[in-house]
Structure 1
Amino acid sequence: MDTTAFREKLQARALDEGFSAMGICAPDATPHTAQRLSEYVELGRHGQMGWMAERMSWRGSAAALWPQARSVIMLAEVYTPENNPLDVLEQRDRAAVSVYAQGRDYHDLVKKRLKRLGRWMVEQTGAEIKVFVDTAPVMEKPLAQAAGLGWQGKHTNLLSRDLGNWFFLGSIFTTLDLPKDAPETSHCGNCTACLDICPTNAFPAPYQLDARRCISYLTIEHKGPIAPDLRPLLGNRIYGCDDCLAVCPWNKFAVAASEIGYARRVGAPHLAELAALDDAAFRTLFSGSPVKRIGRDRFTRNVLYAIGNSGDPALIDAAKPHLNDPDGTVADAAAWAISRLS
């Protein structure tokens, strides 16, 4: 078959499916990933994310994950917010939820799109495929840079001259040997906006992240109490953090999201209302949302830290019922919040 012609058809089909951009690299196009991952884990910067240390041979090499693959098709899907996500940080009695979690769970939306595109590929070529979106030990950002979609900025997230940095990544591994794209290089220049704005100084150096100080990690992945010296720095962020993404100058080229599923469902709810949620109400409110996966206890812990940071003594009444919470971390967060407001 004419692989060049098929690649053009594939790209057109991908855009028709709703993806924003496509690039292709070889499975072995990121030879330095394994060493960098090993160094990251050895420094302990992955925190409690033990899964990063598991299957490191696969995570460090897409070629090892599926030796039969000849091409890795990387796809980007934008979720650009309509409003500045930094504005809610000034509303201390309200909760700040990361933009990507304000709508439906992107795992479901991107995965379905990947499967549709993959089925079309199989019908057209008979090739074998595997699709991934945060569901396997795949280092998506290095592969996306190798495929020319963008580059990992100083905040370690992927950004693009055409899309900004508000986009998800998905991948299709295939036995087809398709024409490859040239890798992208960094265009951050002397800019340090993303490093300067980080509330917790989570970047030891440009292009390096210590997850143990990252608010996204602390509010989503970290189990148990958060260190007392970091709690005041969380502000009213109860799920994730968008600061380093929001200030990137390349966002002036960001395109609007076309997937209606990414539209705001959660918004910026009152902290008092969130503190009153029991497990059933929590699950109902965040049904179909990424927020649901952290569970009621970790969520309530985050809400109570935000209440403690609100500066509003009227919120003491919202924290008091949790002083005797069955979860010790929640009870500790309630006591901390009340002591801050008193």
Structure 2
Amino acid sequence: MKRSCLLFGLVALHLISAQPLSVSVKVGESVVLPCHGTPQTGSPPQDSLHLQWQTPRERVFEWKQGTVYQAPQFLGRVGLEVAKEVVGAQWDGNCSLRIQPVEFSDTELYESFFVDTRRRRMFLQSVWLTVTSHRSYINLKSGQDLHLDLHTHHRVRVLFQGSAGGPGELLWHNGPQGRYGDRLEKRARELTVKLLTSADQGSYTVLDSRNCTLSTVTVTVEESTRERTLSPGDPLTLPEEHRHLLVLFWPEGDTSSPRPVYTPPRGGEGRTEEGDRVVIQRLTPGHQGLYEVQDAQGNTVYKLRLSVAGMEKQSHSDGSRLRATFSLILSSLLLSAFLCPSLLPAW
């Protein structure tokens, strides 16, 4: 009996208040449910600890003398902060539980317990966890890419609601949907919408398999006009890798109807395709002006104002050489007249 009292005294804890703590976290992020029981007269080695975390419905996590139990729906997502310490070290009272990544189904009341050597459970802490969705606002320029964080590795659906209203549109469900085609690219937890236009302005909603909203991203797309300066003879490369771009051209100072520079799937004279890129070979003064790149629906991806540098400089150099030549001839005639007046014609 004396020995049992001694063992209990070594691991007796200052119990934390039974009032639940409130913790809120965004879905897909990492969260720590805080718990710290302070030993009164000593602390057992970590490898002899027995700690439990549970909800009113089930046991979530258990650490028993170095052996770990995780509930099936938490498998690979939960762990104690003390588990990072060296086994055999003295326990400092930290029994906080880390969950990563957090899912909507993790919203619940969690309770932690210390189990002594006689299997008596001592309540430590209760934590109410609330999992919420993400909400963000992004301002991009036409021609840029939108990168959507899906916040999960599981299957999702992505819906689009245009800023002009109207019915929503399914973008992604086990692959690209509708008109987006090869403009969508998914890697791990990210979905990329390529080459934004004004038609892509609106709200993007990511839904999980239970139809819960993981995130809502509101996107504003501003039209952009790029400026570029090249030299005569240089090639002009449109860097976007897209198979369905239309390129229109207005020559410098010409505001009439544009002429197509490139219409998929074939290019025009002096234009080639490198993969999915359009290249205009050997620029001349006639290539200077405004280029508009459109997608397959006729939406403006971006505009490019091209200046061909060196044209005025070249023209100026030619004029300078002509004036210099004329001056040299005139000087030679005057010198000849001065030295040999008889050579001058009689007027």
User: Structure 1 length as normaliser, TM-score?
Assistant: 0.24
TM-score w.r.t. length of structure 2: 0.24
Structure with the larger RCO, 1 or 2 (CA within 8 Å, 6+ apart): 1
The structure that is strand-richer by fraction is 2
Which has the greater radius of gyration? 2
